[in-house]
A and B are shown apart, each in its own frame.
Chain A
Amino acid sequence: MKTVTESHDIAPVPSDRNRPKTKWNIKRDWPLHLMVFPALVLILIFQYAPLPGLVMAFQEFKPWLGFTNSPWVGLEQFRKMIEFPQARQVILNTFIISSFKIVFNLIVPFVFALLLNEVRVMLFKRVVQTFVYLPHFLSWVILGGVLIDILSTEGGLVNQVITSIFPVEPIFFLGDGDWFRFTVVVSDIWKDFGFSAIVFLAAISGIDPSLYEASVIDGANRFQQMLYITIPGMIPIAIVVGTLSLGNILNAGFDQIFNLYNPLVYHKGDIIDTYVYRIGLISGDYSFGTAVGMFKSVISFILIVIAYRLAYKYANYRIF
């Protein structure tokens, strides 16, 4: 029996999945190749060409000796990284803080986009959306000072509110290890949820309106519409964003932590980047920084690949 692909009764359909070979078809595809070309060239030049410089991670790099003459030390830098006494704690802190951030930085904007979507008055909608995304533009240098003020145990606004409602002692947000992590995660979400929600709002805008029309005919109420149309329409993008943000798993937010931390919370709040920064101050060691960077990248990549696989297996969704 002739399969669809072998029949020549209809014009060649672009989807031709059963062809075993993957040879390039330049004649047919040349516009596509052309479209990819500039991006490819830029990537090759600016991302791939400098890669040999990573040899720094295996050297005792001195700027004046350069890549070719700096002494080779093999895995010394990596060994240092693992052996430094606080290394384990610091990596753990980074993972914990980062994971919370990634999870909530996905959920909160998602939910917010859904809620905002239910607003009918256009002006209100746009104003809220604008206000909410503004904190993204503040730097942690400024925010740090503001946060220290309002979270203070002596006269800070937040504690004043808390102690007037609940019969508790003022919470030392920035001085207690666990509360510090909490503060870091919450303040980061506060700062960026508005901006992150934009992607989800865009996803919602892209949902085919006819789906809503059809659902109304079927008798669905708003809530059901949200559950069966809106949310599924946003899931693909959520998966993509979530997966890509895994690429940041070991970047718990240097700027933020640097401006908020203090010796009382080193134990639970010190992350890889602040730690490496302090080491760099003493030794001006580029090789070490490069080695750490490599370590971070490799871990991130592994996680991304895992997420990609999971998404494909369970949601049948190919991110790449």
Chain B
Amino acid sequence: MHHISLPYRIFTVCNNIFLAFLSFLCIAPLLHILAVSFSDPSAASANLVKLWPVGFTLDAYNETIGNENFSRALWNGIVRTVAGTAFSMFFMTLAAYALSKDNADFRGRNAYMWVFVFTMLLNAGLIPTYVLVQKLGLINSVWALILPNAISIFNMILLMNFFRSSVPKTLEEAAYIDGASHFRTVFSIYIPISLPAIATVSLFTMVWHWNSWFDGLIYLTDTRKYPLSTFLQTIIVQQDTTQMNIDPEDLKMLSERTVRASQVFIGTAPILLVYPFLQRYFVKGIVLGAVKE
């Protein structure tokens, strides 16, 4: 029997209105930027565009997409993100599983944990990391983008906690008694049960890779290898007040707000396409009684 009382109904209505309002609040600026991206540059740079394009034109998108290097950068970005995420997730998941055991079940676990946690204490910074990457011969290779941050302690700890809380001890012990190896346990039990967590951490990792542009800038010496995020950075002109000599040609591009606006969407679109597939793992229906809606 479901208890759908009157107070609850009122709550539901209010809740829905509130959430709808919140959604609008979040989407409004994006609508504005979308409108700018389809507007005439003169109107856009004078800030005359509100929520609807003024002087509709596809020029801004053409500027970026029509650029010879765009499709190459797009491909580079996809390769880097997919490879990077798969690589990271694979090794982080395995390690997180192992670390989710108690020290009694896995001797040395605490020692390992401290080694990992300790990295949160100190970070060497840009120069020493660069020197290391250079000495490893990774300069100008996509591996320089994948390897250095492959293991995120934050994500790994998150996964580890999810493993601990989602998988009942009894299940774990039952698998052990049945003679399942650790590898089997991970793949057959932990991962399927923890899909929300896996999806979440994969999303975080993917977004991080996709948006990460600075490392491309310093580790890749060949501009044709730039992933999309780095590429977009090089055609958006930021106002740099420290420069004593400002090239009027560069400044001309600065005022092309429409191009900048279009790049927000060009850069985000691929993630948005993938998103729904991951979303269904953590946005679940309500459980009312025994029936999942």
Interfacial residues, chain A to chain B (CB-CB below 8 A): 11, 13-17, 19, 22-25, 29, 31-33, 35-36, 38-40, 42-54, 56, 61, 63, 67, 112, 115-120, 122, 124-132, 134-139, 141-143, 146, 149, 190, 194, 198-199, 201-206, 209, 212-213, 216, 219, 221-223, 236-237, 240-241, 244, 247, 281, 286, 289-290, 293-294, 297-298, 300-301, 304, 319-320
Contacts and interface: CB of A to CB of B under 8 A. Distances in A.
A125 B279 CA distance: 11
B107 interface: yes
Interface stretch (B64-72, B77-85, B128-136): B128-136
B173 A202 contact: no
Contact of B121 (A43, A281, A301): A301
Nearest to A21: B107
A32 B101 contact: yes
A35 B173 contact: no
A240 B161 contact: yes
A44 B115 CA distance: 9
Contact of A50 (B33, B104, B131, B197): B131
B104 A237 contact: no
Interface centre among B47, B110, B116, by most A CB within 10 Å?
B116
A241 B101 CA distance: 20
Contacts of B261: 142
B10 interface: no
B43 interface: no
Closest 3 CB pairs between A and B? A53-B128, A50-B124, A50-B128
Majority-rule SS of B interface residues = helix
B23 to A, nearest CB: 4
Contact of B16 (A46, A119, A132, A241): A119
B19 A119 contact: yes
A194 B25 CA distance: 12
B94 to A, nearest CB: 4
Given A53-B131, A213-B289, A190 B147 contact: no
Contact of A128 (B20, B116, B157, B285): B20
A131 to B, nearest CB: 4
Contact of B151 (A39, A139, A149): A39
Given A135-B26, A205-B284, A237 B108 contact: no
A294 B112 CA distance: 23
B38 to A, nearest CB: 15
Contact of B107 (A22, A51, A203): A22
B157 A46 contact: no
Contact of B98 (A23, A32, A44, A135): A32
A253 to B, nearest CB: 16
B125 A293 contact: yes
